[in-house]
Structure 1
Amino acid sequence: MEFEYPRLRQLIFIIITANKEINGSTLASELKVSERTLRSDIKVLNKELQKYKLEIVNVRAKGYKVIVNDNDLFDEFKRNVVEHDQSFPVNTYEERIKYLLLILINAREPVSIDYILDSIFISYNTLNNYLAELKNTLEKYHLGLHKKGETIELVGTEIDKRACIIDKLEDKNYKEYIMQFSKSEKNLFTNVDLDLLLRLVSSFFENHFTEISDYTRKNIAVHLALSISRSKSGHIMESFSKNVLLKPETEPIFSEFFKTINSEFNIDISEPERKYVIYHIALNDPNIILNKSQELNQEIKCSIELFLDKIMNIYEFDFHNDDVLKKNLYQHLKSVVKINSLEQTRKNPLLDVILSTFPLAYEVTATSVDVIEDKLKLKLSRDEISFITLHVGASLERNSGTSYSKKNAAIICGSGTATASLLRAKLSSFDDYLNITGIYSYAEYQTKDLSKNDFLISTVPLLGSKLPIVQIDLANYASDSMELYEFLTTTLNDEKNLNNLFQSDSIFINKKPISRKEALNFLCDEMEKLDIVNPDFKDKMFERENMYSTAIGGQIAIPHPIKASSKQSRVGLLISNDPISWDENGNKVKYVFLLAIRPEDYPKIQSLFSFLVNLQNDEKFKNMISKCKSSDEVMVVIKYSIKNSQLN
């Protein structure tokens, strides 16, 4: 449908997407016109809407809204006008910014400002505000905006533009990301048959390389799709400087793979594009990289021993006899060294999950991993440390000695062997009643016959399964494991150990605004008065706090020293009526659990971390705490929560 002038399209779009009445002054301000002009626009617009049996009316004391007299015609109108054949929705501020970026990054020449205004339904002044924000985003990618006359152009290298596309236009909702191509991905790569591409990538790895996770397979497919799509639309990568030293036996395999891609997508992938694709495959599957030094393998083994020595020295966890852990760490660190040779880091999609769900494993890893960095001359990112945490966490579970009170079940896990190994280890607590028949990726689940199982345990949604599904989100393991509890009818009772860690004399209720530093100083001082901690406890606690945030989510923080400095094991608790600004990530904390644990007690307090993780989503606990007037009342609530907690 063509309107008499572009502002009318913007006007009807704003009214429809508002989903409620919108007053005249707000509407006029958005359009940058007077209310008199607005009334004239609506009069003209209503004439054009008659054929769709629509009318814009002004509801007294509320504002303008659309009256719909024929729902079928209204649906047709929305398809033809509101949706406007856009690749991205533009209902919200964030969506409009993203769509503006898409327009500019896909353009091969300067874009008309009028085209942008008509496409995302904003005024000229609003566009200037959007461009100012977009400019800040683009600076991180060495990209800029060049405004000349009534046109705008995004300037920068093709490699930087692709990095921006992956980070800003590719939504990586973990569960949805690995299962299928989203609508936004299909709109981002409109000139590529994504389902065909994913089948080719899957076949390529199944026939020639080691097993890869669903997440890795999808990562590779997305980068390959980006290369094909950008090449087809004329955004050619003229050069790519990062060269991967491949194992000699893989070179003819890749040559044949690119021939298949050229044939299937009617394209001639250039040499720089091939290097770009191979580089991103190597980031996701470092096994294809040639190991130039066999001596380094011995260095890796040595670094692992140093790592385990430090863990035992600080926490008294002895993992030296855990051959599974050593093997997994060795394979992982070999990959890290190879990725480091590419001068790049990789993202862990479960970073936030690991930080909030496995704080003890992350703590043990983060405070001990420096010996690996020193030995191998690496600098490990938080993402990479969280990968290692998965292996350490699995070892903690295997060696915890915990037992729970036998059905066959297969695990469906899309995020790789490390995550699957951790989940399997977590589930080992149910081994007396649970037999894990195998671990499968989501892709394997779609082709395997798993009918001999009693039920399936999955980290991703499974549709159409004939077997019962217990879905477990590692970010919410404690809660999700309750469903598994229904199958296996078992509970871990660690009441006595946990109750001994909490005492009313180390519980405090704060009714005035307080800073993070003030809260920590107060708790440390009180614990020292009670003769629970050593004089150097506070310094070690602040040293540890400066490493990374101890906020684990759910308005909970668990500060503790970098090395144990306690005379007895105790948890100090400060409850603040006003949320405390805890870190630069914007975390707000109301419940500060100060952990003072003797070294010899660390192997016994895994249940404490499990309990604290459970509390993140325990609204009943928080509601009861909010009504407490004294530390004795808080102690009653804590004992009640411990008694009723499903510990993992």
Structure 2
Amino acid sequence: MDRSIQLLISGFERGMPVLTDRQKKVVKIIVEHDRGIYANEIAKSLKVSTRTIRNDIAGINLVLKNSQCSIQSSKRTGYFIMQENINRIKDVLKTMDALNPKQIATSSKQRKYYILGKLMNCHAKDLGEMADELYVSEQTVYKDLTGMIHHLDEKYHFYALSLENGQMILQPKEIEIRTLVYRLIKEEIYLTNRLVDIHLYQMIRDSADMEELNDIVDYISAYCRSNSIVLSDQMVFVIAWMIFFTMLRSEGGYHLERNVELFNPNEKLSQLLTSLFRDLKFNLTKSDCHLLQNYIETLGFYSNQEGVISGSEVEEIVDLFTKEMLAKYNMDFTKIPSLFENFKIHLQFTIKRLLMDYQLSNPLLKEVKVKYSFAYEITMLIVPIIHERYGLYLSEDEISFLTMYVMPFLKAQNARVKTILVSGTSQSFANMLHVWLNQEFGSRIDIVTKIPMYRLEEELESHKVDLVISDRTIDKKISVPLIEITQLPGTAERQRLESFIVKTVTVTSSEEVFHKVFNRNAVLFFDGEPSFAQIIQRCSKRLMENGNILDADAFAVATMQREQIYHTHIDHGVFFAHPLENEAVKNGVCVGVVRTDAEMAGHPIRIVFVGAHEPRIYKEMIHIYDLINKVAASSRLVGILCGMHSEGELIDYLERIVQII
């Protein structure tokens, strides 16, 4: 079998569309006219419009892309197929007839987009009629529709699609349809990185001229080149599709129900759209243009790097965030300018999306919350700042995107061990040892000073360090860990220092923070079927009894408020619940172990770690987040902990996990 035909069959199996009967007739007519044929001649033969033929040919080329051939066009000869591709296209038609001669959409996702497109134009359709149109069973359409209703409800808060008495009904306002489709366009194009996206095509296939979409892309690309505007191909495709869809709705007689104001005028974008609408003769209303421009702005459209950070609001928000980060975690985000500046740029567009009620979804959300939970928690500092200013909460997805700037900063903070290097022998040996340490452990050790032996006691009083390295034996006891390298360093010294850093510094700090946070008097076992609120209330009372917080009722309310906005379930029924703002007297964690069936927001409740955090949090708390995530990642560990019968047994087991980590 020809390789291109194998690719075509593979494409069908993955859900690629097949040709309709009319599209097959178009191909056959072009094959018969080896010197070319114009669209109006094909249209006359098939008794359809020229626009319909151009749309069909765009769809045909989408299907044929895996067969390494296509229908080409020329102003002089019209549409034609290269002679060497004629036999291949005939084979494609035969293969397609054998596979599925009638079906319009060949995957569930394609059918969903097709159904959505149909309902956007007719608003109601009988389930059986749609099944006949798609050449599938009513049960298949029912599953597709109910799946789409749930998906649109859950992800986009779009509630206008329903099924009533066998009728599929779509009754939204026009502004809701457009904003939904704008979001679908963005996500589909960013997923496939293709202009002619299969699923978007299914949604508009009956009403669109795909050549107009190509014209829009060409216009945007040319305009950007001539005006020194740098846009990625993805962004060009997304903008083109948004304009294309807006034009289709306007031409179809669908109008916005209310006036739309321009959120944040962008001169370059306004000039581009004005020029495009004028030259391509698109007749859109002022509100059409404003809604379109507002959504394009949320993509991060700008002409160059200068002026991306506009206005004082973002600067003020970032300034408050960095001050909070410094005050609570003793970390200065501005110390890594590249991360800090990129965080500001991302935040600007995050806020624009928030005010437009359009927030991105992050497919890596769960991974970010589990793997980088401490960085995620630090990023949460920005939530109350934004809420106080705008009265709105960022979504978890948007917070997780911002976390990706905090995470590498946090990693840099935790990577280096502050060290004093003591020289007691020759200066040349001391210099050589310094060079070796920088080469082998430059990313792990920060040598704060290099001193002679007699100054060690003085320096230990004036510098807070984690480690002392000496090139001679030190007889007297010192207050910090010590490692001696008295000969030319090699593999043995490297391994010894590595082991010393891990076991003496990292393990000691993790065990110390564990004993500060956990104690045997802060473990509660729950039988019966407790609600999540009851677990939080009892754990809050225990934290107050242990002196961690002052007001158990206020703490429980604040913890439940956070849970309603940002659920704290990690995995396997493990939660790490705590208020959005930290006001504890001292750090502490109460562990609630549930021995019976209980649920919270569709998640089983097995172990609830309820955390009380001081306003100022030391960075070693990352070990506690690592511990809780380690437990949550393993259903086996959760089962072991839930099967324990005493508080001491559970705390001892958690401490062993800390030592392993």
1:283 aligned residue (275, 292, 298): 298
Please show how residues 595-614 of structure 1 align to structure 2 within 5 Å: 595-599=611-615, 601-614=617-630
Structure 2 CA distance for aligned equivalents of residues 159 and 115 of structure 1: 28
- The answer for the alignment partner of 1:572 in structure 2 is 590
- The answer for the alignment partner of 1:301 in structure 2 is 315
Distance 1:508 1:186, change over 3 A: same
8 Å Cα contact 1:555/1:587 also seen in 2: yes
SS in 1 for 2:530: coil
Query: What does the per-residue CA deviation read over 1:202-246, in whole Å, with 9 as the maximum and x for residues that have no partner?
Result: 88768867766x7xx646634632543675696465568444665
Unaligned runs of 5+ in 2: 1-94, 419-440, 445-497
SS in 2 for 1:542: helix
Please show how residues 392-541 of structure 1 align to structure 2 within 5 Å: 392-402=406-416, 432=443, 494-500=506-512, 501=514, 502-529=518-545, 531-536=546-551, 539-541=554-556
Structure 2 CA distance for aligned equivalents of residues 209 and 171 of structure 1: 23
- The answer for the alignment partner of 2:284 in structure 1 is 271
Distance 1:520 1:177, change over 3 A: farther
- Name the amino acid aligned to 1:327: E
Q: Give the alignment's TM-score, normalised by structure 1.
A: 0.56
Q: Does 1:366 align with 2:380?
A: yes
Distance 1:373 1:392, change over 3 A: farther
SS in 1 for 2:100: helix
8 Å Cα contact 2:376/2:400 also seen in 1: yes
SS in 2 for 1:557: strand
- The answer for the alignment partner of 2:359 in structure 1 is 346
Kindly state the Cα deviation for residue 605 of structure 1 after the two structures are TM-superposed: 1.0
Distance 1:533 1:154, change over 3 A: closer
- The answer for the alignment partner of 1:546 in structure 2 is 561
8 Å Cα contact 2:543/2:549 also seen in 1: no
8 Å Cα contact 2:588/2:611 also seen in 1: yes
1:184 aligned residue (187, 193, 199): 199
- Name the amino acid aligned to 1:284: L
Kindly state the Cα deviation for residue 635 of structure 1 after the two structures are TM-superposed: 3.8
Kindly state the Cα deviation for residue 516 of structure 1 after the two structures are TM-superposed: 0.9
Structure 1 CA distance for aligned equivalents of residues 215 and 627 of structure 2: 46
Residues matched between the structures, number: 469
Q: Does 1:115 align with 2:129?
A: yes
8 Å Cα contact 1:312/1:318 also seen in 2: yes
Larger Rg computed on CA atoms: 2
Distance 1:250 1:535, change over 3 A: closer
Distance 1:632 1:129, change over 3 A: same
Distance 1:338 1:141, change over 3 A: closer
Distance 1:77 1:156, change over 3 A: same
- The answer for the alignment partner of 1:23 in structure 2 is none
- Name the amino acid aligned to 1:87: A
Structure 2 CA distance for aligned equivalents of residues 582 and 129 of structure 1: 28
SS in 1 for 2:548: coil
Structure 1 CA distance for aligned equivalents of residues 147 and 193 of structure 2: 34
Structure 1 CA distance for aligned equivalents of residues 530 and 246 of structure 2: 52
Indicate the larger mover: 624-633 or 179-188: 179-188
Structure 2 CA distance for aligned equivalents of residues 135 and 393 of structure 1: 33
Kindly state the Cα deviation for residue 387 of structure 1 after the two structures are TM-superposed: 4.5
- Name the amino acid aligned to 1:518: Q
8 Å Cα contact 2:606/2:638 also seen in 1: no
- The answer for the alignment partner of 1:85 in structure 2 is 103
SS in 1 for 2:598: strand
Distance 1:280 1:128, change over 3 A: closer
- The answer for the alignment partner of 2:61 in structure 1 is none
- The answer for the alignment partner of 1:42 in structure 2 is none
Kindly state the Cα deviation for residue 333 of structure 1 after the two structures are TM-superposed: 4.7
- If each structure's helix is expressed as a fraction of its own residues, which one has the higher value? 2
Please show how residues 559-638 of structure 1 align to structure 2 within 5 Å: 559-564=577-582, 566=584, 568-583=586-601, 586-599=602-615, 601-638=617-654
Unaligned runs of 5+ in 1: 1-74, 263-267, 405-429, 434-488
Kindly state the Cα deviation for residue 323 of structure 1 after the two structures are TM-superposed: 4.4
Kindly state the Cα deviation for residue 115 of structure 1 after the two structures are TM-superposed: 2.2
SS in 1 for 2:104: coil
Kindly state the Cα deviation for residue 114 of structure 1 after the two structures are TM-superposed: 5.0
8 Å Cα contact 1:311/1:317 also seen in 2: yes
Distance 1:203 1:603, change over 3 A: farther
Distance 1:492 1:242, change over 3 A: farther
SS in 2 for 1:534: coil
SS in 2 for 1:86: coil
Query: What does the per-residue CA deviation read over 1:600-634, in whole Å, with 9 as the maximum and x for residues that have no partner?
Result: 55322123223333443234423543554444443
Distance 1:612 1:331, change over 3 A: same
Distance 1:492 1:274, change over 3 A: farther
8 Å Cα contact 1:192/1:225 also seen in 2: no
Structure 1 CA distance for aligned equivalents of residues 236 and 578 of structure 2: 40
Distance 1:224 1:359, change over 3 A: same
- Name the amino acid aligned to 1:576: V
- Name the amino acid aligned to 1:80: N
Structure 1 CA distance for aligned equivalents of residues 254 and 572 of structure 2: 45
8 Å Cα contact 1:316/1:602 also seen in 2: yes
8 Å Cα contact 2:537/2:552 also seen in 1: no
Kindly state the Cα deviation for residue 515 of structure 1 after the two structures are TM-superposed: 1.4
Q: Does 1:163 align with 2:183?
A: no
- Name the amino acid aligned to 2:412: R
8 Å Cα contact 1:508/1:574 also seen in 2: yes
- The answer for the alignment partner of 1:558 in structure 2 is 576
- The answer for the alignment partner of 1:225 in structure 2 is 241
Query: What does the per-residue CA deviation read over 1:459-485, in whole Å, with 9 as the maximum and x for residues that have no partner?
Result: xxxxxxxxxxxxxxxxxxxxxxxxxxx
Structure 1 CA distance for aligned equivalents of residues 510 and 253 of structure 2: 61
Indicate the larger mover: 559-568 or 138-147: 138-147
Kindly state the Cα deviation for residue 304 of structure 1 after the two structures are TM-superposed: 3.1
- Name the amino acid aligned to 1:550: T
SS in 2 for 1:558: strand
